[in-house]
Structure 1
Amino acid sequence: MKTKPSLWLMLLLLMFPQIVETLYSPALVSISQAFAVSDTEASQTLSIYFIAFALGVAVWGIVADAWGRRPTMLLGLSVYGISALVALQTDSFAVLMLARACSAFGIAVGSIVTQTMLRDSFDGDALGKVFSLMGLGIALSPVIGMFTGGQLVLLGGHGAVFTLLLFMALVLLGCCVRFLPETFPETVTRTQGTNQSFPLSALAKRMLADWHIWRSALLVAIYNIGLFSYYQLGGFAFARLGLTPEVFGYSGLLLGLGSCVGSYLNSRLIANEVSLQRRLLGAATLLLLGAVSLCLLQGSVWFVLPMCLVVMAFGVAIPNVLSMALSDYKMYAGSAGALLGLMYYLLIGAGLALAGLIEHLGWVLLGCAVAAWAVTLIHRR
């Protein structure tokens, strides 16, 4: 009988990519100053991160079906660790951008392979409950990342942030070497996702023609763009108000409260058997209320308060979308998850690139809210 992975380790692996990115966010102003680049150039490192992350999701998901879950996870974390070391040592902004891209490619393994291992080990309502728990961890990750990043920037600038990122990579790699089991289903051959009986091209064609897949990819992208646009633009907004990266990091504590409320609300909705469609409409409503309120308050530091509604919307929407997204593709969980991840992370990267050019958090969130409503209602009709 195959051993199920420890949920604490799965939680750490899913949280790690989020912690990595939000811990980096308070350092954007420091990076802009240290490398003598504009705010726009510094903020675009986030969009580059997600585009490279998308490619990593595609590669690691396919490799996980060919080589197995455990060796793929170890290889991806090793790539991330090496890239983090390069980022720590360089004094070139171009090399930093390349290191960021490579680190994103490597750490993508924590998202796609972890989700695949959970789908290997759980299904049905059990999978939905596990994803709800994972959603709470993902929602709390920015709190940990932003607060820690703000403190580190205060102590040692972006170099202190990069040092911690390298240390975390080494610790997590060690934990996986010691505790991570192989979860690949014994009833599925390791090349099934890419063999001649069902080649990757056929799987991709099937998924691209599946509106349910597109709907899932669009919704995941929309809510992530809304959330990460704050991490991308918020630090610069605080700086324009005369506030420090440390204060920006403290705002993560407030967002953490919204995350907890959103995850609790989602668990209650599931317990009361509220339909998936109504849960998604509720999330879209929260996002719209947060976007409108933030537009009205963006001239003051109180614009942080409506972001609580945005993270609540994220906490409701994402676990529900991810738990059901690949229900028809379980036999090809790794490859299907890779292709789905490629779709939504490319969308996230493009959306954040546009957000960096717009440089107005309120307008970005309004666009996300309108898009969330449109995608949800189109399915209903």
Structure 2
Amino acid sequence: MALVMALMMFPQIVETIYSPALTGIAAGFGITAAEAAQTLSLYFLAFALGVVIWGWLSDRIGRRPAMLAGLTLYAVASVWAVFLTSFPLLLAARCLTALGAATGSIVTQTMMRDRYTGRQLARVFSILGMAIAVSPALGVMSGALLTSQWGYRGVFIGLAVLASMLLAWSVLRLPETRPDGYHKAAFKSVFFTMLSDTRLWGNAVLVAVFNVCLFSFYQLAPFMFARLGMETEIFGLAGIVLSLGVGAGAWLNKWLLARHWPEKRILHLSVGFLVVGGVTVHVLDGHISFVAPVVLVVAAYGMAIPNVLAGALVKYRACQGSAGAIFGLFYYLLLAGGLMLAGWSQHFSAVVVTCGLVAFGVLQIESRLQNDAQPETDLP
């Protein structure tokens, strides 16, 4: 379980460890803040492709080989990035690292779905969510330390070391969880089935908007802190506060599930957190206190994501790897698009409020579709 937690934490650590280096990259390559922020958007586009590749391979060759291959690719691409002086090549290296990092998301989720189902799976994701809550803090603080000592190249060295350590640990301890006699469904048929699944698309939008709220902070906040005259280390400390918020949200979700709250009710509460947090961030814009309401935003993430992920693929247990890959493709493409818009807008509070309204709309549509799908009964 310790290894599973580390592998689940890996994608978030490597996404956020890069955030403190954005201002250094902008200065070092002579690009604008918006251009530097778009590296995160491109990262998630490549991440979406990686989710498809490793999810499909996890069904074909097994969970363990897919994980080991992805970690190897990440380590090699990070070493390459250290020596680059061209921004387009840096983007290419970032895309390769994204391809590799995707294995930590999709393959680990698939392994959990191999072992657990239903509300038990939601509780497991909540427990993992509390462990993952420390990931942004570890990432941002490590990135701030590496950047302050060795610049953005220090970040890539750190990423290569981290991936190599996880690779060695996985070689020694990672089991194969793919069931014996596993049915390898045709990827194409699964794709078109899921493409027409309205409920699945609703879940994909929900996962995307909550992730946009989280990662748009790490995308935009370095420049917000710079405008306030704050050092990179202060941004690292903010990561600790937000990690506590994610952990609090995951704990609250686990507590509410134990008291038999319906998942939809928890999702509505988390959407309320998003909207209130976004409006308050707007009110406090221009002052360091804007970080306080961001805790509500990240707590909403910690509450919502375990429930959405746990229930999204109930209909696709016969093809977990491929279905997880396709679902991941859907929401990571939406996430990449959302982060592109966030990077262009450079307005964090507007991003959060918009995401909250979109999530509320999705929940309303899902409730209406569910009511329409219920069979009519004769009046007494």
**TM band (smaller chain):** over 0.9
Aligned length: 368
Q: CA deviation at 1:201?
A: 1.9
- Counting only pairs closer than 5 Å after superposition, residues 229-244 of structure 1 correspond to structure 2 as 229-244=216-231
Question: Which letter maps to 1:303?
Answer: F
Match of 1:90 among 84, 107, 111: 84
Would you say 1:360 and 2:350 are equivalent positions? no
Report the aligned-residue RMSD: 1.0
Q: CA deviation at 1:254?
A: 1.1
Structure 2 match to 1:73: 67
| Cα distance in 2 between the residues matched to 1:139 and 1:351 | 22
CA contact (8 A) 2:26 2:36 kept: yes
Question: Which letter maps to 2:246?
Answer: S
Structure 2 match to 1:326: 313
Structure 2 match to 1:371: 358
Segment drifting more, 341-350 vs 201-210: 201-210
| Cα distance in 2 between the residues matched to 1:309 and 1:23 | 22
Segment drifting more, 121-130 vs 364-373: 121-130
| Cα distance in 1 between the residues matched to 2:80 and 2:22 | 18
Q: Structure 2: 5+ residue runs without aligned partners?
A: 369-380
Local SS of the residue matching 1:239: helix
Which of structure 1's runs of 4+ aligned residues deviate more than 3 A?
none
Would you say 1:16 and 2:3 are equivalent positions? no
Structure 1 match to 2:110: 116
- TM-score of the pair, normalised by structure 1: 0.95
CA contact (8 A) 2:133 2:244 kept: no
- Counting only pairs closer than 5 Å after superposition, residues 1-381 of structure 1 correspond to structure 2 as 7-189=1-183, 192-193=184-185, 199-381=186-368
CA contact (8 A) 2:58 2:66 kept: yes
The CA deviation string for residues 197-233 of structure 1, in whole angstroms up to 9 with x for no partner, is xx22221121112122111100000000011000000
CA contact (8 A) 1:139 1:311 kept: no
The CA deviation string for residues 326-378 of structure 1, in whole angstroms up to 9 with x for no partner, is 11101100000000000000000011011111111111111111111111121
Q: CA deviation at 1:150?
A: 1.4
| Cα distance in 2 between the residues matched to 1:328 and 1:63 | 20
| Cα distance in 2 between the residues matched to 1:152 and 1:188 | 44
The CA deviation string for residues 294-330 of structure 1, in whole angstroms up to 9 with x for no partner, is 0111111111111100010000000010011111101
The CA deviation string for residues 44-83 of structure 1, in whole angstroms up to 9 with x for no partner, is 0000000000000011101111111111111111111111
| Cα distance in 1 between the residues matched to 2:100 and 2:248 | 32
Structure 1 match to 2:374: none
Q: CA deviation at 1:151?
A: 1.8
Q: CA deviation at 1:133?
A: 1.2
| Cα distance in 2 between the residues matched to 1:72 and 1:96 | 25
Q: Structure 1: 5+ residue runs without aligned partners?
A: 1-6, 194-198
Percent pairwise identity? 46
Q: CA deviation at 1:260?
A: 2.0
Q: CA deviation at 1:124?
A: 2.8
| Cα distance in 2 between the residues matched to 1:237 and 1:166 | 28
